[in-house]
């Protein structure tokens, strides 16, 4: 048996498959010595866990609740009551000109981007091929292998602003951005996965203006951002406009198992996503929308994001950064990206004698799982040494796991410089 070109592309292995395989096995099969710092698994926040339990108990107690939860199909676009409530919340809270016709549910954010990318890029009826522009890499590992056919990303290296002795920040290099005829969309994640970078309001507005001038959409992946789950530590605001496609998710607020993604855009875009859902999967799961509906109707989802989720992760980020400073020798040439949001720390080891892939294997042998940075630099026209000198680690696990993992990472990085002959 042979697979098609498309089949080979989706079955030939990928960074996101390696990441999720490590994550799933660590969470299900990993013993006490496994330090899972590699995935995007949100933390279990006790206050939110209690709310999910209360909601499930309330649904089960309602007449017809079980049927609504698991016994019937929603329309391909999503639950009409949930969509209406969400549209009303976004309009009332931010003044955005949206109705339920501007919204569509998907089976998680990953599916949303599979639909969007393949609808907006690739081969067109006239035979032309178009690409998605990534104005700043590193960018989300899950985008890389989603194209039907060949790769269709064009990426731009960032400007690197060094801050103090051991921090830095990536910034969009607008001088290097070029919107050619083969660019059909611009895409950014905000906060950025993997780095925790938050593009400033000015950067987002500039990108939106460029997109509008060229008649193409700006896609903003808002899986970690405002208005929910609001894992935003920087001084930044959510953004939407008529030519913007904004994606959201219920995963990082604490419902990853429900696989509930949200696409907001023009009526044409939302309708297209609903059509693709019908073809690819008939309908989406009901559970996430059913649990969250009253919290959206009341606006409680915004309060929880603002007063519970954001402070929780901000504290965990600060603690993880403190451990990096404690365990990493000041003489090591390491820099940590400013932690402005999301669930990760991004570390760069300048001139590291081994690649981040080798470091990944050495850490895995010691029971520490991280993600090699090279996976996040797809779409570039040329190799970049910087890409093989970075790693991503999450700080969402139990404090003792995170601290011990950071200690072991520091030991292995120091050993790499010492053993391989590079300056320490």
The pLDDT value recorded for residue 21 is 66
- Cβ neighbors of 3 (< 8 A, separation 6 or more) are 11
pLDDT by 10s per residue, the chain, length 424: 777 777 776 776 665 566 556 655 554 555 556 889 988 889 999 999 999 999 999 999 999 889 889 999 999 999 999 999 999 999 999 999 999 999 999 999 999 999 999 999 999 999 999 999 999 999 999 998 888 877 789 999 999 999 999 999 999 999 999 999 999 999 999 999 999 999 999 999 999 999 999 999 999 999 999 899 999 999 999 999 999 999 999 999 999 999 999 999 999 999 999 999 999 999 999 999 999 999 999 999 999 999 999 999 999 999 999 999 999 999 999 999 999 999 999 999 999 999 999 999 999 999 999 999 999 999 999 999 999 999 999 999 999 999 999 999 999 999 999 854 444 4
The pair of three-digit structure tokens given for residue 158, joined into one six-digit string: 């960032």
- Cβ neighbors of 113 (< 8 A, separation 6 or more) are 142, 143, 146, 221, 247
The pLDDT value recorded for residue 16 is 59
The pLDDT value recorded for residue 31 is 55
Q: What are phi and psi of 194, to 5 degrees?
A: -110, -5
The pLDDT value recorded for residue 148 is 83
Closest CA to 8 of 193, 200, 212, 145: 145
The pLDDT value recorded for residue 5 is 72
Separation between Cα atoms, residue 23 and residue 240, nearest integer Å: 33
Residue 250, SS3 per DSSP: coil
The pLDDT value recorded for residue 418 is 86
The pLDDT value recorded for residue 19 is 54
**Contact, 105 vs 262, CB < 8 A?**
yes
The pair of three-digit structure tokens given for residue 314, joined into one six-digit string: 């901000």
Please state whether beta strands 334-337 and 371-372 pair in parallel, antiparallel, or not at all (unpaired).
Answer: unpaired
Instruction: Give the angle 108-211-104 at the CA atoms, nearest 5°.
Output: 25
Q: Report CA Rg, the chain.
A: 21
**Contact, 248 vs 261, CB < 8 A?**
yes
Separation between Cα atoms, residue 98 and residue 84, nearest integer Å: 10
Q: How far is CA 26 from CA 39, 222, 395, in A?
A: 10, 27, 15
The pLDDT value recorded for residue 152 is 86
The pLDDT value recorded for residue 423 is 43
Max Cα distance, the chain (Å) = 70
Structural domains of the chain ordered from first start: 5-48+304-419 (3.90.1150.10), 73-301 (3.40.640.10)
The pLDDT value recorded for residue 141 is 92
- Cβ neighbors of 194 (< 8 A, separation 6 or more) are 138, 140, 141, 342, 344, 346, 371, 373, 376, 392
The pLDDT value recorded for residue 424 is 41
């Amino acid at each position: 048996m042979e697979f098609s070109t498309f089949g080979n592309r989706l079955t030939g292995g990928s960074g996101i498959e390696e990441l999720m395989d490590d994550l799933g096995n660590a969470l299900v099969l990993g013993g006490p010595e496994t330090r899972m710092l590699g995935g995007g698994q949100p933390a279990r926040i006790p206050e939110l866990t209690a709310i999910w339990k209360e909601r499930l108990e309330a649904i089960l107690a309602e007449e017809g609740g079980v049927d609504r939860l698991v016994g019937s199909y929603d329309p391909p676009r999503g639950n009409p009551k949930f969509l209406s409530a969400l549209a009303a919340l976004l309009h009332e809270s931010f003044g955005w000109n949206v109705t339920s016709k501007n919204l569509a549910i998907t089976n998680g954010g990953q599916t949303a981007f599979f639909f969007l990318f393949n609808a907006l890029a690739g081969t067109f009826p006239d035979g032309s091929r178009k690409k998605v522009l990534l104005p700043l890499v590193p960018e989300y590992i899950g985008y890389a292998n989603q194209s039907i056919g060949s790769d269709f990303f064009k990426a731009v290296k960032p400007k690197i602003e060094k801050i103090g002795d051991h921090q830095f920040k990536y910034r969009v290099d607008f001088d290097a951005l070029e919107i050619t005829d083969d660019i059909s969309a611009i895409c950014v994640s905000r906060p950025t996965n993997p780095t925790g970078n938050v593009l400033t309001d000015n950067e987002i507005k500039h990108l939106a203006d460029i997109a509008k001038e060229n008649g193409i959409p700006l896609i903003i992946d808002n899986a970690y951002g405002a208005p929910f789950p609001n894992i935003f530590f920087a001084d930044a605001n959510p953004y939407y406009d008529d030519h913007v496609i904004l994606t959201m998710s219920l995963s990082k607020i604490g419902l990853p198992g429900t696989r509930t993604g949200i696409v907001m855009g023009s009526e044409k875009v939302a309708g297209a996503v609903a059509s693709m859902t019908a073809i690819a999967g008939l309908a989406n799961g009901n559970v996430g929308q059913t649990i969250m509906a009253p919290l959206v109707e009341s606006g409680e989802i915004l309060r929880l994001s603002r007063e519970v989720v954001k402070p929780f992760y901000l504290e965990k980020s600060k603690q993880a950064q403190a451990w990096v400073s404690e365990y990493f020798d000041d003489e090591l040439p390491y820099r940590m990206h400013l932690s402005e949001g999301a669930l990760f720390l991004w570390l760069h080891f300048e001139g590291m004698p081994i690649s981040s892939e080798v470091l990944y294997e050495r850490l895995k042998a010691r029971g520490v799982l991280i993600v090699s940075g090279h996976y996040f630099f797809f779409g570039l026209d040329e190799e970049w040494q910087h890409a093989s000198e970075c790693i991503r680690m999450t700080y969402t696990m139990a404090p003792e796991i995170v601290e011990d993992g950071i200690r072991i990472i520091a030991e292995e990085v120091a050993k790499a410089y010492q053993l391989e002959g590079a300056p320490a």
